[in-house]
Structure 1
Amino acid sequence: MSTDPSPAPGPDTPVPSCYRHPGRETYVRCTRCDRYICPECMRDAAVGHQCVECVAEGQKGVRQARTVLGARASGSQTPVVTYTLIGLCVLAYLGEVASEQVVREFMMLGLGAMQGGTLVGVAEGEWYRLLTSMFLHQPPQSGGFGLTHILFNMWALWAIGPQLEQLLGRWRFLALYMLSGLGGSVLLYLVDPFDAAVGASGAIFGLFAAYFVIGRKLGGQVGPIVFLLVLNLVITFAVPSISWEGHIGGLATGAVLAVAYAYAPKARRQLVHVAASAAVLVLLVALVLVKTSELMSGVS
Protein backbone atom coordinates (compact mmCIF):
# COMPACT_ATOMS: atom_id res chain seq x y z
CA MET A 1 0.00 0.00 0.00
CA SER A 2 1.33 3.44 -0.93
CA THR A 3 0.40 6.34 1.31
CA ASP A 4 1.20 10.03 1.16
CA PRO A 5 4.55 10.50 3.01
CA SER A 6 3.84 14.13 3.77
CA PRO A 7 2.71 15.10 7.28
CA ALA A 8 -0.96 15.44 8.09
CA PRO A 9 -2.44 18.50 6.40
CA GLY A 10 -2.63 21.69 8.36
CA PRO A 11 -5.57 24.04 8.55
CA ASP A 12 -4.76 25.56 5.14
CA THR A 13 -3.69 22.35 3.38
CA PRO A 14 -6.41 20.73 1.22
CA VAL A 15 -7.31 17.16 2.13
CA PRO A 16 -6.54 14.76 -0.76
CA SER A 17 -9.51 13.08 -2.37
CA CYS A 18 -10.15 10.20 -4.77
CA TYR A 19 -9.48 11.12 -8.41
CA ARG A 20 -12.73 9.38 -9.44
CA HIS A 21 -14.81 10.57 -6.49
CA PRO A 22 -13.64 14.11 -5.61
CA GLY A 23 -15.77 14.32 -2.47
CA ARG A 24 -14.19 11.28 -0.79
CA GLU A 25 -11.15 11.91 1.40
CA THR A 26 -8.32 9.38 1.15
CA TYR A 27 -4.58 9.06 1.76
CA VAL A 28 -4.10 5.89 -0.32
CA ARG A 29 -2.53 6.19 -3.74
CA CYS A 30 -2.37 3.82 -6.69
CA THR A 31 1.00 2.07 -6.77
CA ARG A 32 1.08 2.40 -10.57
CA CYS A 33 -0.10 5.93 -11.41
CA ASP A 34 0.26 7.47 -7.91
CA ARG A 35 -3.26 8.98 -7.95
CA TYR A 36 -5.35 9.03 -4.80
CA ILE A 37 -8.02 6.31 -4.66
CA CYS A 38 -10.89 5.61 -2.28
CA PRO A 39 -11.81 2.11 -1.02
CA GLU A 40 -14.36 1.68 -3.83
CA CYS A 41 -11.68 2.30 -6.47
CA MET A 42 -9.00 0.12 -4.87
CA ARG A 43 -8.01 -3.13 -6.54
CA ASP A 44 -5.60 -5.53 -4.86
CA ALA A 45 -2.24 -5.73 -6.63
CA ALA A 46 0.97 -7.69 -6.06
CA VAL A 47 2.17 -4.71 -4.00
CA GLY A 48 -0.37 -2.35 -2.47
CA HIS A 49 -3.43 -1.27 -4.45
CA GLN A 50 -4.10 -0.04 -7.96
CA CYS A 51 -6.89 2.06 -9.41
CA VAL A 52 -9.57 0.70 -11.73
CA GLU A 53 -7.99 2.19 -14.87
CA CYS A 54 -4.52 0.81 -14.17
CA VAL A 55 -5.91 -2.67 -13.54
CA ALA A 56 -7.85 -2.56 -16.81
CA GLU A 57 -4.77 -1.34 -18.67
CA GLY A 58 -2.67 -4.11 -17.16
CA GLN A 59 -5.15 -6.79 -18.16
CA LYS A 60 -4.88 -5.79 -21.81
CA GLY A 61 -1.41 -7.24 -21.91
CA VAL A 62 -2.43 -10.50 -20.22
CA ARG A 63 -3.00 -13.29 -22.69
CA GLN A 64 -6.36 -15.01 -22.25
CA ALA A 65 -6.00 -18.73 -21.54
CA ARG A 66 -7.65 -20.85 -24.22
CA THR A 67 -8.46 -24.50 -24.82
CA VAL A 68 -6.67 -26.51 -27.49
CA LEU A 69 -9.53 -25.65 -29.87
CA GLY A 70 -9.42 -21.91 -29.27
CA ALA A 71 -12.19 -21.41 -26.71
CA ARG A 72 -11.65 -19.35 -23.58
CA ALA A 73 -10.51 -21.66 -20.83
CA SER A 74 -12.75 -21.56 -17.79
CA GLY A 75 -13.23 -24.62 -15.64
CA SER A 76 -16.38 -23.22 -14.00
CA GLN A 77 -18.05 -21.98 -17.18
CA THR A 78 -21.73 -22.89 -17.23
CA PRO A 79 -22.78 -24.63 -20.50
CA VAL A 80 -25.32 -21.92 -21.27
CA VAL A 81 -25.85 -22.95 -24.90
CA THR A 82 -26.47 -26.60 -24.01
CA TYR A 83 -29.00 -25.75 -21.33
CA THR A 84 -30.70 -23.19 -23.56
CA LEU A 85 -31.11 -25.70 -26.40
CA ILE A 86 -32.57 -28.26 -24.00
CA GLY A 87 -34.96 -25.63 -22.63
CA LEU A 88 -36.13 -24.62 -26.12
CA CYS A 89 -36.80 -28.25 -27.08
CA VAL A 90 -38.77 -28.85 -23.89
CA LEU A 91 -40.82 -25.67 -24.42
CA ALA A 92 -41.53 -26.67 -28.01
CA TYR A 93 -42.61 -30.13 -26.84
CA LEU A 94 -45.03 -28.63 -24.34
CA GLY A 95 -46.44 -26.57 -27.19
CA GLU A 96 -46.91 -29.73 -29.24
CA VAL A 97 -48.72 -31.43 -26.40
CA ALA A 98 -51.05 -28.44 -26.13
CA SER A 99 -51.75 -28.23 -29.86
CA GLU A 100 -50.97 -30.49 -32.82
CA GLN A 101 -50.99 -27.34 -34.96
CA VAL A 102 -47.46 -26.59 -33.72
CA VAL A 103 -46.13 -29.67 -35.49
CA ARG A 104 -48.00 -28.97 -38.71
CA GLU A 105 -46.79 -25.39 -38.84
CA PHE A 106 -43.13 -25.93 -37.96
CA MET A 107 -42.15 -29.49 -38.94
CA MET A 108 -39.69 -30.14 -41.76
CA LEU A 109 -41.62 -30.44 -45.02
CA GLY A 110 -40.18 -29.70 -48.43
CA LEU A 111 -43.45 -29.52 -50.31
CA GLY A 112 -46.89 -30.77 -49.39
CA ALA A 113 -50.56 -29.97 -49.64
CA MET A 114 -52.83 -29.07 -46.74
CA GLN A 115 -56.58 -29.40 -46.67
CA GLY A 116 -58.07 -27.46 -49.53
CA GLY A 117 -55.08 -28.13 -51.78
CA THR A 118 -52.93 -25.28 -50.44
CA LEU A 119 -49.25 -25.98 -51.01
CA VAL A 120 -46.96 -25.50 -48.03
CA GLY A 121 -43.35 -26.25 -47.22
CA VAL A 122 -39.82 -25.00 -47.76
CA ALA A 123 -40.33 -24.76 -51.52
CA GLU A 124 -43.26 -22.41 -50.87
CA GLY A 125 -41.07 -19.98 -48.97
CA GLU A 126 -41.39 -21.49 -45.48
CA TRP A 127 -37.63 -21.58 -44.99
CA TYR A 128 -37.94 -21.58 -41.23
CA ARG A 129 -39.02 -25.23 -41.31
CA LEU A 130 -35.41 -26.21 -42.01
CA LEU A 131 -34.51 -24.95 -38.52
CA THR A 132 -37.66 -25.11 -36.42
CA SER A 133 -38.05 -28.82 -37.09
CA MET A 134 -34.93 -29.57 -35.05
CA PHE A 135 -36.64 -28.28 -31.90
CA LEU A 136 -39.73 -30.44 -32.37
CA HIS A 137 -40.25 -34.10 -31.43
CA GLN A 138 -43.02 -36.62 -31.86
CA PRO A 139 -45.80 -35.68 -29.40
CA PRO A 140 -47.49 -38.42 -27.36
CA GLN A 141 -50.76 -38.15 -29.29
CA SER A 142 -49.04 -39.00 -32.59
CA GLY A 143 -48.08 -42.52 -31.54
CA GLY A 144 -44.69 -43.83 -32.63
CA PHE A 145 -41.81 -43.09 -30.27
CA GLY A 146 -43.68 -40.31 -28.48
CA LEU A 147 -41.98 -39.24 -25.25
CA THR A 148 -39.01 -41.56 -25.87
CA HIS A 149 -38.00 -39.44 -28.87
CA ILE A 150 -37.33 -36.24 -26.93
CA LEU A 151 -36.01 -38.06 -23.85
CA PHE A 152 -33.21 -39.75 -25.76
CA ASN A 153 -32.23 -36.65 -27.71
CA MET A 154 -32.17 -34.45 -24.62
CA TRP A 155 -30.21 -37.07 -22.68
CA ALA A 156 -27.61 -37.18 -25.47
CA LEU A 157 -27.41 -33.38 -25.56
CA TRP A 158 -27.05 -33.19 -21.79
CA ALA A 159 -24.42 -35.99 -21.76
CA ILE A 160 -21.98 -34.69 -24.37
CA GLY A 161 -23.05 -31.08 -24.92
CA PRO A 162 -21.27 -29.50 -21.91
CA GLN A 163 -17.93 -31.14 -22.77
CA LEU A 164 -18.06 -30.04 -26.39
CA GLU A 165 -19.22 -26.55 -25.43
CA GLN A 166 -16.31 -26.16 -23.03
CA LEU A 167 -13.77 -27.30 -25.65
CA LEU A 168 -15.25 -25.41 -28.59
CA GLY A 169 -16.58 -22.33 -26.87
CA ARG A 170 -20.14 -21.12 -27.14
CA TRP A 171 -20.27 -19.79 -30.69
CA ARG A 172 -18.50 -22.81 -32.24
CA PHE A 173 -20.69 -25.22 -30.32
CA LEU A 174 -23.85 -23.39 -31.34
CA ALA A 175 -22.68 -23.30 -34.97
CA LEU A 176 -21.94 -27.03 -34.84
CA TYR A 177 -25.37 -27.84 -33.42
CA MET A 178 -27.42 -25.59 -35.67
CA LEU A 179 -25.55 -26.38 -38.88
CA SER A 180 -25.70 -30.12 -38.17
CA GLY A 181 -29.44 -29.90 -37.65
CA LEU A 182 -29.74 -27.81 -40.80
CA GLY A 183 -27.63 -30.35 -42.69
CA GLY A 184 -30.08 -33.08 -41.73
CA SER A 185 -33.05 -31.04 -42.93
CA VAL A 186 -31.31 -30.17 -46.20
CA LEU A 187 -30.47 -33.80 -47.01
CA LEU A 188 -34.10 -34.77 -46.42
CA TYR A 189 -35.16 -31.89 -48.66
CA LEU A 190 -32.84 -33.07 -51.42
CA VAL A 191 -33.70 -36.78 -51.23
CA ASP A 192 -37.38 -36.77 -50.33
CA PRO A 193 -38.88 -33.26 -50.27
CA PHE A 194 -42.42 -34.65 -49.90
CA ASP A 195 -41.64 -36.40 -46.62
CA ALA A 196 -42.14 -34.74 -43.23
CA ALA A 197 -39.90 -35.04 -40.18
CA VAL A 198 -39.25 -33.60 -36.73
CA GLY A 199 -36.51 -34.03 -34.20
CA ALA A 200 -33.13 -32.85 -32.96
CA SER A 201 -31.54 -36.11 -34.09
CA GLY A 202 -29.67 -34.52 -37.00
CA ALA A 203 -28.02 -32.05 -34.62
CA ILE A 204 -27.34 -34.82 -32.09
CA PHE A 205 -25.67 -36.97 -34.76
CA GLY A 206 -23.53 -33.95 -35.60
CA LEU A 207 -22.44 -33.78 -31.97
CA PHE A 208 -21.65 -37.52 -32.03
CA ALA A 209 -19.42 -37.00 -35.06
CA ALA A 210 -17.68 -34.01 -33.48
CA TYR A 211 -17.12 -35.88 -30.23
CA PHE A 212 -15.44 -38.70 -32.15
CA VAL A 213 -13.27 -36.43 -34.33
CA ILE A 214 -12.17 -34.21 -31.46
CA GLY A 215 -11.64 -37.21 -29.20
CA ARG A 216 -9.30 -38.78 -31.77
CA LYS A 217 -7.45 -35.51 -32.19
CA LEU A 218 -6.90 -35.14 -28.44
CA GLY A 219 -6.08 -38.81 -27.87
CA GLY A 220 -9.16 -39.48 -25.74
CA GLN A 221 -11.26 -42.61 -25.37
CA VAL A 222 -13.67 -42.78 -28.32
CA GLY A 223 -14.90 -46.34 -27.83
CA PRO A 224 -18.14 -45.38 -26.02
CA ILE A 225 -19.14 -42.78 -28.63
CA VAL A 226 -18.38 -45.24 -31.45
CA PHE A 227 -20.63 -47.82 -29.81
CA LEU A 228 -23.41 -45.27 -29.32
CA LEU A 229 -23.06 -44.05 -32.88
CA VAL A 230 -23.10 -47.52 -34.42
CA LEU A 231 -26.10 -48.52 -32.31
CA ASN A 232 -28.04 -45.47 -33.44
CA LEU A 233 -27.11 -46.02 -37.08
CA VAL A 234 -28.44 -49.57 -36.86
CA ILE A 235 -31.69 -48.28 -35.38
CA THR A 236 -31.84 -45.55 -38.02
CA PHE A 237 -31.89 -48.01 -40.91
CA ALA A 238 -33.79 -50.78 -39.10
CA VAL A 239 -36.85 -48.71 -38.19
CA PRO A 240 -38.81 -47.57 -41.28
CA SER A 241 -40.40 -44.52 -39.62
CA ILE A 242 -37.04 -42.90 -38.85
CA SER A 243 -35.71 -40.29 -41.28
CA TRP A 244 -32.26 -41.61 -42.14
CA GLU A 245 -31.63 -38.50 -44.22
CA GLY A 246 -31.81 -36.28 -41.16
CA HIS A 247 -29.40 -38.48 -39.22
CA ILE A 248 -26.84 -38.92 -42.02
CA GLY A 249 -27.05 -35.26 -43.04
CA GLY A 250 -26.36 -34.16 -39.48
CA LEU A 251 -23.58 -36.71 -39.08
CA ALA A 252 -21.78 -35.60 -42.24
CA THR A 253 -22.14 -31.89 -41.47
CA GLY A 254 -20.91 -32.33 -37.91
CA ALA A 255 -17.91 -34.37 -39.08
CA VAL A 256 -16.86 -31.74 -41.62
CA LEU A 257 -17.09 -28.92 -39.08
CA ALA A 258 -15.31 -30.93 -36.39
CA VAL A 259 -12.37 -31.63 -38.71
CA ALA A 260 -12.09 -27.92 -39.47
CA TYR A 261 -12.33 -27.00 -35.78
CA ALA A 262 -9.91 -29.66 -34.53
CA TYR A 263 -7.23 -29.56 -37.22
CA ALA A 264 -7.06 -25.87 -38.06
CA PRO A 265 -3.49 -24.50 -37.78
CA LYS A 266 -3.05 -22.60 -34.53
CA ALA A 267 -1.84 -19.42 -36.23
CA ARG A 268 -5.01 -19.17 -38.34
CA ARG A 269 -7.38 -21.08 -36.11
CA GLN A 270 -10.01 -18.37 -35.64
CA LEU A 271 -10.05 -17.55 -39.34
CA VAL A 272 -10.41 -21.20 -40.36
CA HIS A 273 -13.19 -21.80 -37.84
CA VAL A 274 -15.21 -18.82 -39.03
CA ALA A 275 -14.55 -19.59 -42.70
CA ALA A 276 -15.50 -23.27 -42.33
CA SER A 277 -18.76 -22.43 -40.55
CA ALA A 278 -19.66 -19.81 -43.16
CA ALA A 279 -18.73 -22.12 -46.05
CA VAL A 280 -20.94 -24.93 -44.75
CA LEU A 281 -23.84 -22.51 -44.31
CA VAL A 282 -23.41 -21.11 -47.82
CA LEU A 283 -23.26 -24.62 -49.29
CA LEU A 284 -26.42 -25.73 -47.51
CA VAL A 285 -28.29 -22.60 -48.56
CA ALA A 286 -27.15 -23.06 -52.16
CA LEU A 287 -28.38 -26.66 -52.19
CA VAL A 288 -31.76 -25.55 -50.87
CA LEU A 289 -32.04 -22.85 -53.54
CA VAL A 290 -31.20 -25.29 -56.34
CA LYS A 291 -33.70 -27.87 -55.07
CA THR A 292 -36.39 -25.22 -54.61
CA SER A 293 -35.91 -24.04 -58.17
CA GLU A 294 -36.21 -27.61 -59.40
CA LEU A 295 -39.37 -28.29 -57.41
CA MET A 296 -41.12 -25.06 -58.36
CA SER A 297 -40.35 -25.53 -62.05
CA GLY A 298 -42.01 -28.94 -61.82
CA VAL A 299 -45.07 -27.51 -60.06
CA SER A 300 -45.53 -24.74 -62.60
Structure 2
Amino acid sequence: MQTWLKSFYRTAPATLIITSASIILWFVAAFQARSLTNVFNDSELVHNMMVWGPAFELGNQWWTPLSYAFMHLDIGHLTVNMFMLMLIGREVERHFGTVLFVALYISAAISSGLLILTLDFMSPTAGASGALFALMVLLVSVYRSRGADLRAPIVLVAVNVIYTFISAGVSLWGHLGGLFAGIILALCVTRKSAAFHWLGIIGLPIAAFFFYTAVGA
Protein backbone atom coordinates (compact mmCIF):
# COMPACT_ATOMS: atom_id res chain seq x y z
CA MET A 1 0.00 0.00 0.00
CA GLN A 2 2.76 2.42 0.92
CA THR A 3 4.60 1.67 -2.32
CA TRP A 4 1.41 2.22 -4.32
CA LEU A 5 0.75 5.55 -2.59
CA LYS A 6 4.29 6.72 -3.29
CA SER A 7 3.94 5.75 -6.94
CA PHE A 8 0.57 7.49 -7.16
CA TYR A 9 1.96 10.64 -5.52
CA ARG A 10 4.87 10.77 -7.98
CA THR A 11 2.53 10.67 -10.98
CA ALA A 12 -0.50 12.61 -9.65
CA PRO A 13 0.26 14.46 -6.41
CA ALA A 14 -2.65 16.92 -6.66
CA THR A 15 -5.18 14.13 -7.20
CA LEU A 16 -3.93 12.33 -4.10
CA ILE A 17 -3.90 15.52 -2.01
CA ILE A 18 -7.42 16.54 -3.07
CA THR A 19 -8.70 13.04 -2.36
CA SER A 20 -6.98 12.89 1.03
CA ALA A 21 -8.23 16.34 2.03
CA SER A 22 -11.81 15.42 1.09
CA ILE A 23 -11.64 12.20 3.12
CA ILE A 24 -10.16 13.93 6.17
CA LEU A 25 -12.75 16.73 6.05
CA TRP A 26 -15.57 14.21 5.78
CA PHE A 27 -14.31 12.27 8.81
CA VAL A 28 -14.20 15.51 10.80
CA ALA A 29 -17.80 16.19 9.76
CA ALA A 30 -18.83 12.62 10.61
CA PHE A 31 -17.23 12.97 14.05
CA GLN A 32 -19.16 16.20 14.65
CA ALA A 33 -22.41 14.60 13.50
CA ARG A 34 -21.65 11.25 15.17
CA SER A 35 -22.93 9.52 12.05
CA LEU A 36 -21.50 7.77 9.00
CA THR A 37 -24.72 7.97 7.00
CA ASN A 38 -25.92 11.54 7.54
CA VAL A 39 -23.55 14.36 8.42
CA PHE A 40 -25.77 17.15 7.11
CA ASN A 41 -27.84 18.06 10.14
CA ASP A 42 -25.31 18.08 12.95
CA SER A 43 -21.98 19.10 11.47
CA GLU A 44 -20.91 22.72 11.67
CA LEU A 45 -18.15 21.99 9.17
CA VAL A 46 -20.67 20.82 6.57
CA HIS A 47 -22.76 23.95 7.07
CA ASN A 48 -19.67 26.12 6.64
CA MET A 49 -18.51 24.32 3.48
CA MET A 50 -21.68 23.51 1.55
CA VAL A 51 -22.95 25.92 -1.07
CA TRP A 52 -26.34 27.42 -0.18
CA GLY A 53 -27.86 30.52 -1.74
CA PRO A 54 -29.07 32.48 1.30
CA ALA A 55 -25.77 32.15 3.19
CA PHE A 56 -23.74 33.04 0.11
CA GLU A 57 -25.90 36.05 -0.72
CA LEU A 58 -25.46 37.45 2.78
CA GLY A 59 -21.69 37.33 2.28
CA ASN A 60 -21.22 35.02 5.26
CA GLN A 61 -19.95 32.12 3.17
CA TRP A 62 -18.34 33.63 0.06
CA TRP A 63 -15.85 30.72 -0.15
CA THR A 64 -18.48 27.99 -0.54
CA PRO A 65 -18.57 27.86 -4.38
CA LEU A 66 -15.19 26.14 -3.99
CA SER A 67 -15.30 24.53 -0.53
CA TYR A 68 -18.48 22.55 -1.29
CA ALA A 69 -16.46 20.41 -3.70
CA PHE A 70 -14.34 19.10 -0.82
CA MET A 71 -17.27 18.00 1.38
CA HIS A 72 -19.65 15.04 1.07
CA LEU A 73 -22.87 14.21 2.87
CA ASP A 74 -22.52 10.48 3.52
CA ILE A 75 -19.95 7.73 3.24
CA GLY A 76 -21.43 6.34 0.02
CA HIS A 77 -21.30 9.75 -1.62
CA LEU A 78 -17.69 10.16 -0.51
CA THR A 79 -16.61 6.67 -1.59
CA VAL A 80 -18.02 6.87 -5.11
CA ASN A 81 -16.67 10.36 -5.78
CA MET A 82 -13.20 9.66 -4.40
CA PHE A 83 -12.94 6.40 -6.35
CA MET A 84 -13.85 8.29 -9.53
CA LEU A 85 -11.42 11.08 -8.69
CA MET A 86 -8.54 8.67 -8.15
CA LEU A 87 -9.18 6.94 -11.48
CA ILE A 88 -9.96 9.93 -13.69
CA GLY A 89 -7.92 12.60 -11.93
CA ARG A 90 -4.71 10.63 -12.22
CA GLU A 91 -5.02 10.33 -16.00
CA VAL A 92 -5.98 13.97 -16.48
CA GLU A 93 -3.23 15.23 -14.16
CA ARG A 94 -0.55 13.11 -15.83
CA HIS A 95 -1.57 14.52 -19.20
CA PHE A 96 -1.90 18.22 -18.36
CA GLY A 97 0.58 18.46 -15.48
CA THR A 98 -0.11 19.22 -11.83
CA VAL A 99 -0.36 23.02 -12.02
CA LEU A 100 -2.78 23.02 -14.93
CA PHE A 101 -4.77 20.16 -13.39
CA VAL A 102 -5.27 22.04 -10.11
CA ALA A 103 -6.34 25.15 -12.02
CA LEU A 104 -8.79 23.13 -14.11
CA TYR A 105 -10.25 21.43 -11.03
CA ILE A 106 -10.74 24.70 -9.17
CA SER A 107 -12.19 26.46 -12.20
CA ALA A 108 -14.69 23.67 -12.82
CA ALA A 109 -15.68 23.41 -9.15
CA ILE A 110 -16.29 27.15 -8.79
CA SER A 111 -18.16 27.40 -12.09
CA SER A 112 -20.53 24.53 -11.25
CA GLY A 113 -20.95 25.90 -7.70
CA LEU A 114 -22.01 29.27 -9.08
CA LEU A 115 -24.45 27.60 -11.45
CA ILE A 116 -26.03 25.83 -8.47
CA LEU A 117 -26.39 29.20 -6.75
CA THR A 118 -27.97 30.66 -9.87
CA LEU A 119 -30.43 27.93 -10.79
CA ASP A 120 -30.93 25.98 -7.55
CA PHE A 121 -30.56 28.78 -5.01
CA MET A 122 -32.38 27.15 -2.09
CA SER A 123 -30.79 23.69 -2.28
CA PRO A 124 -27.83 23.12 0.07
CA THR A 125 -25.27 21.20 -1.96
CA ALA A 126 -21.93 19.51 -1.37
CA GLY A 127 -19.73 17.12 -3.29
CA ALA A 128 -17.03 16.86 -5.94
CA SER A 129 -19.44 15.71 -8.65
CA GLY A 130 -19.40 18.97 -10.61
CA ALA A 131 -15.61 18.96 -10.82
CA LEU A 132 -15.68 15.24 -11.65
CA PHE A 133 -18.03 15.82 -14.59
CA ALA A 134 -15.53 18.34 -15.93
CA LEU A 135 -12.70 15.83 -15.48
CA MET A 136 -14.70 13.19 -17.37
CA VAL A 137 -15.03 15.54 -20.34
CA LEU A 138 -11.34 16.41 -20.10
CA LEU A 139 -10.58 12.66 -20.09
CA VAL A 140 -12.25 12.43 -23.50
CA SER A 141 -9.87 15.12 -24.76
CA VAL A 142 -6.92 13.24 -23.23
CA TYR A 143 -7.90 10.04 -25.06
CA ARG A 144 -8.42 12.02 -28.27
CA SER A 145 -4.96 13.58 -28.05
CA ARG A 146 -3.44 10.12 -27.61
CA GLY A 147 -5.33 8.71 -30.57
CA ALA A 148 -6.96 6.19 -28.21
CA ASP A 149 -10.43 4.65 -28.52
CA LEU A 150 -12.92 7.28 -27.35
CA ARG A 151 -15.76 4.89 -26.61
CA ALA A 152 -14.89 4.22 -22.96
CA PRO A 153 -14.68 7.87 -21.78
CA ILE A 154 -17.71 8.88 -23.87
CA VAL A 155 -19.76 6.04 -22.38
CA LEU A 156 -18.58 7.11 -18.93
CA VAL A 157 -19.88 10.64 -19.54
CA ALA A 158 -23.15 9.40 -21.06
CA VAL A 159 -23.88 6.97 -18.21
CA ASN A 160 -23.32 9.69 -15.62
CA VAL A 161 -25.54 12.15 -17.49
CA ILE A 162 -28.32 9.56 -17.64
CA TYR A 163 -27.81 8.82 -13.92
CA THR A 164 -28.18 12.54 -13.20
CA PHE A 165 -31.64 12.64 -14.77
CA ILE A 166 -33.03 9.38 -13.35
CA SER A 167 -31.72 9.54 -9.78
CA ALA A 168 -33.18 11.46 -6.90
CA GLY A 169 -30.99 13.41 -4.53
CA VAL A 170 -28.31 14.46 -7.02
CA SER A 171 -27.53 18.05 -7.93
CA LEU A 172 -28.82 18.46 -11.47
CA TRP A 173 -27.24 21.86 -12.00
CA GLY A 174 -24.04 20.87 -10.22
CA HIS A 175 -23.61 17.95 -12.61
CA LEU A 176 -24.65 19.85 -15.71
CA GLY A 177 -22.56 22.82 -14.63
CA GLY A 178 -19.53 20.56 -14.39
CA LEU A 179 -20.33 19.02 -17.78
CA PHE A 180 -20.59 22.45 -19.40
CA ALA A 181 -17.43 23.63 -17.63
CA GLY A 182 -15.58 20.56 -18.85
CA ILE A 183 -16.59 21.22 -22.47
CA ILE A 184 -15.44 24.85 -22.30
CA LEU A 185 -12.20 23.98 -20.54
CA ALA A 186 -11.44 21.13 -22.94
CA LEU A 187 -11.89 23.47 -25.90
CA CYS A 188 -9.45 25.90 -24.30
CA VAL A 189 -6.70 23.59 -23.07
CA THR A 190 -6.50 21.60 -26.29
CA ARG A 191 -5.28 24.75 -28.07
CA LYS A 192 -1.53 25.23 -28.43
CA SER A 193 -1.49 28.67 -26.85
CA ALA A 194 -0.88 28.65 -23.06
CA ALA A 195 -2.52 32.08 -22.91
CA PHE A 196 -5.70 30.54 -24.31
CA HIS A 197 -5.55 27.83 -21.62
CA TRP A 198 -5.50 30.39 -18.84
CA LEU A 199 -8.06 32.62 -20.52
CA GLY A 200 -10.53 29.75 -20.32
CA ILE A 201 -9.55 28.64 -16.82
CA ILE A 202 -9.82 32.13 -15.31
CA GLY A 203 -12.57 33.45 -17.56
CA LEU A 204 -15.03 30.60 -16.98
CA PRO A 205 -15.70 31.19 -13.24
CA ILE A 206 -15.75 34.95 -13.85
CA ALA A 207 -18.42 34.45 -16.52
CA ALA A 208 -20.31 32.13 -14.15
CA PHE A 209 -20.25 34.81 -11.45
CA PHE A 210 -21.62 37.44 -13.83
CA PHE A 211 -24.31 34.98 -14.85
CA TYR A 212 -25.19 34.57 -11.16
CA THR A 213 -25.42 38.31 -10.60
CA ALA A 214 -27.55 38.77 -13.72
CA VAL A 215 -29.93 35.84 -13.32
CA GLY A 216 -29.62 34.66 -9.71
CA ALA A 217 -31.84 35.44 -6.77
Per the normalisation by structure 1, the TM-score is 0.63
Partner of residue 4, structure 1: none
Output one character per residue of 1:34-64: Cα deviation in whole Å (capped at 9) or x when no partner: xxxxxxxxxxxxxxxxxxxxxxxxxxxxxxx
Decide which of 248, 270, 273 is 2:194's aligned counterpart.
270
Could you list the structure 1 runs, at least 4 aligned residues long, displaced by more than 6 angstroms after superposition: none
Partner of residue 106, structure 1: 49
Superposition pairs for residues 10-21 of structure 1, below 5 Å?
none
Output one character per residue of 1:220-269: Cα deviation in whole Å (capped at 9) or x when no partner: 1222222222222122111121111000101110111111111x13xxx2
Which amino acid letter does the alignment assign opposite residue 243 of structure 1? S
Tell me which structure has the larger Cα radius of gyration.
1
Asked if the contact 1:213/1:255 (under 8 Å) is kept, the reply is no
Give the whole-Å Cα distance in 2 for the aligned partners of 1:215 and 1:256: 17
| Runs of at least 5 residues in structure 2 that lack an aligned partner in the other structure | 1-8, 33-42
Output one character per residue of 1:119-162: Cα deviation in whole Å (capped at 9) or x when no partner: xx111112111111100111xxxxxxx31211111111111212
Higher fraction of strand: 1
| Structure number with higher relative contact order (C-alpha < 8 Å, ≥ 6 residues apart) | 2
Higher fraction of helix: 2
Which amino acid letter does the alignment assign opposite residue 76 of structure 2? T
| Length, aligned pairs only | 198
Decide which of 96, 112, 119 is 2:29's aligned counterpart.
96
Q: Does structure 1 residue 212 correspond to structure 2 residue 134?
A: no
Partner of residue 79, structure 1: 12
Percent of pairs identical after alignment?
24
Across the aligned residues of Structure 1 and Structure 2, the Cα RMSD in angstroms comes to: 1.7
Partner of residue 118, structure 2: 190
Residue 72 of structure 2 aligns to a residue in which SS? coil
Asked if the contact 2:138/2:182 (under 8 Å) is kept, the reply is yes
Pairwise CA distance, 1:109: 0.2
Q: Does structure 1 residue 134 correspond to structure 2 residue 58?
A: no
Give the whole-Å Cα distance in 2 for the aligned partners of 1:102 and 1:279: 30
Superposition pairs for residues 1-300 of structure 1, below 5 Å?
77-99=10-32, 100-111=43-54, 121-125=55-59, 126-138=61-73, 146-262=74-190, 264-265=191-192, 269-291=193-215, 295=217
Which amino acid letter does the alignment assign opposite residue 167 of structure 1? H
Residue 151 of structure 1 aligns to a residue in which SS? helix
Give the whole-Å Cα distance in 1 for the aligned partners of 2:25 and 2:109: 16
Pairwise CA distance, 1:284: 2.1
Give the whole-Å Cα distance in 2 for the aligned partners of 1:157 and 1:107: 19
Pairwise CA distance, 1:288: 3.3
Asked if the contact 2:95/2:142 (under 8 Å) is kept, the reply is no
Pairwise CA distance, 1:205: 0.5
Pairwise CA distance, 1:77: 4.4
Output one character per residue of 1:263-291: Cα deviation in whole Å (capped at 9) or x when no partner: x13xxx22211222121132123223435
Which amino acid letter does the alignment assign opposite residue 86 of structure 1? T
Asked if the contact 1:108/1:196 (under 8 Å) is kept, the reply is yes
Residue 11 of structure 2 aligns to a residue in which SS? coil
Which amino acid letter does the alignment assign opposite residue 164 of structure 2? T
Output one character per residue of 1:158-184: Cα deviation in whole Å (capped at 9) or x when no partner: 112122111111121111111111122
